[in-house]
Amino acid sequence: MTYFVKELFYTLQGEGAPAGRPAVFCRFTGCNLWSGLEKDRDKAKCNFCDTDFNGTNGQNGGKFKTPQELASKAESLWPGGGKPFIVCTGGEPLLQLDVKLIKAFQAKGFKVAVETNGTLLAPDELDWVCVSPKVINDLKQLTGDELKIVYPQDLISPDMVKDLNFTHYFIQPKDEAGTDHMRSVIEYCLANPQWKISLQTHKLMNIS
């Protein structure tokens, strides 16, 4: 299959348990909860996304005809040394990320992580699964390494998913213009110590 990639770049992971870790980010095009078009935002199941995932015109973006071609491009961005780590994100990466591509990344030495909305089942071959659900009724991936709830949301809350089988449980304040959700997130975590705060540290560092 051909893989449609919005952008591919080397940076620091900004959120959740791996925050601060050097990583190659592979942002796939497309999502099943929003078209990415502003005209559709109000009726989308996920209507607060701040990511451009349409097209293949981003940094190192393009159409990659084989898993090996994409894996080789990702390898070229890693500076050498350390423990190579690639984060597959979107949009919704599991619309494209398949076992052949996961194994191609791993053959280049990468540990492979995915950031998914949980509406599609993640392949067992992945090394790290982060689920950030948006709609409780659409949630299919019920286990993983990291569960991250953007808070607050209309269609899902931490109480709805607190019994799922994850290693880490994070709440992340919604980045919403004119509204500061930090205090409510702090109060929720103090009252429910199962949960930890995740911050978008890449925005604090002013990096991608």
* Active site residues per annotation: 25, 31, 46, 49-51, 115, 202
Residue with tokens 């040394």: 81
What's the longest Cα–Cα distance across the chain?
49
Please report, as a single letter, which amino acid is at residue 113: A
Closest CA to 84 of 64, 106, 104: 106
CB neighbours (10 Å) of residue 1?
Answer: 11
Element (H, E) at 169: strand 165-173
Spatial contact of 110 and 85, defined as CB atoms under 8 Å apart: yes
Residue with tokens 């909860």: 33
Cis amide leading into 91 (omega within 30):
yes
